[in-house]
């Protein structure tokens, strides 16, 4: 689905995410470490451990015998046979698993070290061998060399600290209202600060298509260490860029960007999982002594769960493509026709066609739709964004969440479960920011409270729309909302970071949410909103049980540590677009994580 305007690839949210996502690495759930470390983990169940039989490095020519992947320990008969069958004159260009004189299973001097510190003269062999290993798994050869640098976290912070400094007041208002609409960042905090705080300490590495360079971020400031799994993940992005040109994969909304990430990051994570398994059973691999990418204690879970979805569902989406009898060839072909909604990644094969949602300007007085660079400030939140909105309270507050922690953590060994009845009937949505003179002239995050928005969504059925509205009303109630005495289906939050008036309208399979600073202003943001009369909607009945569905030992403080594996990011690269950050295919800068 394409947005009606081409402004930024993640309209409301991209300027923030793109500026921070320049590298990667969202830490994944601890659940992913268990099965993923073994060849039989769920993420590997539908994926064979060999290159596609009869396929080629480019998908059109026959592979050399070196592509017959051994399935033994690396020292048994199968491994010996693979080495025996290797071509007499291998080449970097045509032989899968061989790069610049190094085979994927070669032993290197650094393998005998007790740490992962790599001297400058030892880095090239490590990179070449890792490239060969990625080729071995992915069944594609690199076309060019890839530059790799290892920096400390302090160096990374210094080079990325100014990325958000050039946002205009309108852009900041756009970001703050967008995140506030999802009850993700309240008006006491700038959206840019919330995302920068999370990524500043959680990035493990990134690939920059602008420079064709990979940067690995090390936690050890004295002797930077190289994490080979992070290197392998980023090398997949370099391979993708060389073969499929990542720079052309630009979405026009947050949801479309995340959907494309489902393919790109799913591909890289799928390779990473197999790489990790082989490091455990077959290959000697470098692993840092200190854990990379520790998430900050004040992590914003709503933002985190939004951005992590491609890594959680992407590998299964890639496995689905491979299971269509074409193996990696099907994945390669998908780069010409990537998914356009996160629903397509959450529900692979569902064939649901998104619809266009219109939000015409029906404001009056000094209210108007906010414009940035001459375009209306609007975005598509998508199924993933809605899930993150409904589950964040399960991890970061004492409020009763719409989606319980236990249900969300029931995503198997690979990640989280983003398939929930309150959101899985989604077809399309559009959130438009409205401003007035007070909001436009303010310069702090609190300006979001003086602004407004109209958020309209379309659902597969009236029942699906009703379930979403019920969930949203539960969310309002958990934030202290009370029903208005004299206005229909209008709910008021008196104070706090989300104070204001909310009008909720349900019309068949269409749900509309309108927010304004006060009940009187709702109808000036959207004509006809908040009429007088009796309510047709009401808060859902309270659960009789006082017990929340929290996993024992997996409360927010424990979850922070458990979720920190390392980051492989949301491929971001910085692409200026008329003076603003434009995220690449994944709400990114276009540095690929």
525-548 confidence digits (pLDDT tens): 999 999 999 999 999 877 654 445
SS3 495: coil
If one compares 3 and 211, the residue with the highest pLDDT of the two is 211
Label residue 351 by pLDDT band (50, 70, 90): confident
Ramachandran region, residue 500 (left: φ > 0; alpha: ψ -120 to 50; beta: rest): left
Q: For residue 198, what are its two tokens?
A: 């999370």
Residue 149 confidence (pLDDT): 84
Q: What is the reported pLDDT for 9?
A: 30
| Residue percentage of the chain with pLDDT more than 90 | 52
Kind and range of the H or E element at 321? helix 301-322
Q: What is the pLDDT of residue 78?
A: 47
Mean pLDDT for the chain overall: 78
195 domain-assigned: yes
Q: How many CB atoms lie within 10 A of CB 165?
A: 8
**169 burial type by CB count under 10 A (0-12 exposed, 13-18 middle, 19+ buried):** middle
Average pLDDT for 384-389: 97
Q: What is the DSSP letter of 113?
A: -
Q: Please report which confidence band the pLDDT of residue 367 belongs to, taking 50, 70 and 90 as the band edges.
A: very high
Q: What percent of the chain has pLDDT over 70?
A: 73
Those residues whose C-beta lies under 8 Å from the C-beta of residue 444, and which sit 6 or more positions away, are none
Residue 169, pLDDT score = 87
In a domain, 193, yes or no: yes
The answer to the question of residue 510 being in a domain is no
Residue at token pair 């994926």: 47
Two structure tokens written together for 521: 């202003």
In a domain, 529, yes or no: no
pLDDT at 540: 87
| Average pLDDT score over residue span 569-576 | 27
Please count the structural domains in the chain: 1
For residue 217, what is the DSSP state? E
> In the predicted model, is pLDDT for residue 342 greater than 80?
yes
More confident call, 57 vs 210: 210
Torsion of CA 164, 187, 374, 502, to 10 degrees: 150
pTM, to two decimals: 0.83
Per the structure, the complete domain to which residue 183 belongs is given by 90-285+300-350
Question: For position 541, what pLDDT does the model report?
Answer: 79
Asked if the structure places residue 309 within a domain, the reply is yes
Indicate whether 537 belongs to any domain.
no
Lowest mean pLDDT among 284-293, 404-413, 514-523, 527-536: 284-293
Torsion of CA 463, 469, 470, 473, to 10 degrees: -170
The per-residue pLDDT for range 64-117, each reduced to its tens digit, is 323 333 333 344 444 554 666 789 899 999 999 999 999 999 999 999 998 898
Euclidean distance between CA atoms 403 and 478, whole angstroms = 13
Residue 49 lies in a domain: no
Q: What is the pLDDT of residue 275?
A: 97
Q: Mind listing the pLDDT tens digit for each residue in 415-431?
A: 799 999 999 999 999 99
In a domain, 292, yes or no: no
- DSSP string of 165-186, one letter each residue: TT--HHHHHHHHHHHHHTTSS-
Predicted local confidence at residue 411, as pLDDT: 61
Return d(Cα 76, Cα 134) in angstroms, integer: 22
């Amino acid at each position: 689905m394409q947005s009606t305007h081409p402004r930024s690839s993640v309209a409301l949210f991209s300027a923030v995410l793109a500026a921070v996502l320049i590298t990667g690495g969202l830490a994944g759930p601890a659940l992913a470490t268990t099965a993923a470390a073994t060849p039989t983990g769920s993420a590997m169940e539908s994926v064979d451990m060999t290159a596609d039989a009869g396929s080629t490095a480019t998908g059109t020519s026959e592979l050399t015998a070196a592509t017959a992947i051994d399935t033994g320990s690396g020292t048994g008969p199968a491994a010996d046979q693979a080495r025996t069958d290797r071509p007499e004159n291998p080449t970097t260009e045509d032989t899968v698993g061989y790069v610049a004189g190094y085979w994927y299973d070669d032993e290197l001097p650094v393998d005998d070290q007790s740490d992962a510190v790599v001297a400058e003269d030892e880095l090239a062999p490590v990179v070449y061998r890792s490239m060969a290993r990625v080729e071995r798994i992915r069944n594609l050869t690199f076309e060019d060399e890839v530059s790799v640098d290892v920096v400390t976290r302090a160096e990374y912070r210094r080079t990325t600290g100014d990325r958000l400094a050039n946002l205009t007041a309108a852009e900041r208002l756009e970001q703050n209202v967008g995140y506030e609409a999802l009850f993700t960042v309240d008006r006491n905090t700038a959206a840019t600060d919330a995302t920068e705080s999370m990524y500043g300490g959680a990035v493990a590495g990134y690939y920059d298509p602008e420079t064709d360079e990979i940067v690995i971020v090390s936690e050890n400031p004295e002797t930077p260490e190289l994490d080979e799994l992070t290197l392998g993940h980023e090398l997949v992005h370099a391979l993708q860029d060389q073969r499929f040109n990542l720079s052309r994969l630009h979405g026009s909304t947050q949801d479309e960007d995340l959907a494309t990430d489902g393919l790109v990051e799913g591909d890289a994570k799928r390779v990473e999982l197999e790489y990790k398994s082989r490091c455990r059973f077959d290959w000697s691999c470098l692993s840092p002594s200190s854990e990379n990418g520790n998430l900050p204690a004040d992590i914003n879970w709503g933002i985190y769960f939004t951005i992590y979805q491609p890594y959680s569902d992407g590998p299964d989406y890639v496995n689905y493509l491979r299971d269509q009898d074409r193996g990696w060839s099907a994945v390669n072909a998908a780069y010409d026709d990537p998914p356009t909604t996160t629903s397509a990644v959450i529900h692979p094969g569902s064939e649901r066609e998104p619809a266009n949602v219109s939000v015409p300007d029906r404001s009056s007085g000094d209210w108007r739709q906010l414009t940035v660079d001459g375009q209306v400030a609007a975005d598509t939140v998508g199924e993933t964004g809605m899930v993150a909105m409904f589950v964040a309270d399960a991890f970061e507050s004492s409020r009763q969440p719409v989606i319980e922690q236990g249900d969300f953590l029931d995503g198997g060994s690979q990640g989280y479960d983003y398939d929930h009845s309150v959101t899985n009937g989604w077809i399309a949505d559009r959130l438009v920011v409205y401003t007035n003179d007070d909001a436009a002239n303010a310069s702090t995050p609190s300006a979001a409270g003086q602004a407004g928005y109209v958020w309209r969504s379309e659902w597969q059925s009236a029942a699906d729309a009703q379930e979403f509205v019920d969930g949203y009303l539960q969310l309002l109630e958990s934030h202290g909302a009370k029903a208005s005495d004299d206005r229909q289906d209008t709910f008021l939050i008196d104070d706090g970071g989300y104070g204001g008036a909310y009008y909720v309208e349900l019309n068949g399979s269409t749900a509309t949410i309108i927010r304004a600073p006060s009940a009187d202003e709702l109808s000036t943001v959207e004509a006809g909103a908040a009429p007088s009369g009796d309510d047709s909607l009401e808060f859902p009945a309270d659960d009789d049980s006082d017990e929340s569905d929290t996993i024992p030992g997996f409360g927010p403080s424990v979850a922070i540590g458990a979720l920190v594996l390392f980051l492989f990011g949301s491929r971001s690269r910085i692409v200026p677009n008329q003076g603003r950050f434009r995220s690449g295919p994944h709400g990114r800068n276009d540095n690929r994580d």
